[in-house]
Amino acid sequence: METCYFCRKGILEDKRVTVDFRWGSKLIVIEEVPAKVCNECGERYYSAEISREMDKIAIEGKREKVIEVPLVRLPTMPSAAA
């Protein structure tokens, strides 16, 4: 069993996840990505091969469908330090 490097107590489980992958100004959602996921903190680990494949998908601009994503900005808040 592999333990999580970040929380040091979780066990890594093989799962398929959805990744919100940012490449420059692009946001690409990649589904069914194989990953090891910590069952305690949720940290995800991708193999070098999977990381290269996600980079390739982003560079090539592959798309199966386009989804609409709302963009919202947090209003300017007064500084807590003042």
| pLDDT per position as a tens digit, 9-44 | 999 999 999 999 888 888 899 999 999 999 999 999
Secondary structure of 6-67 in the HEC alphabet?
CCCCCEEEEEEEEEEEEECCEEEEEEEEEEEEECCCCCEECCHHHHHHHHHHHHHCCCCCCC
pTM of the model: 0.78
Instruction: With a cut of 80, say whether residue 82 has pLDDT above it.
Output: no
Higher pLDDT, 77 or 37: 37
Count of structural domains within the chain: 1
Does a structural domain hold residue 21? yes
Residue 18: which domain range?
12-60
Q: State the pLDDT at residue 48.
A: 98
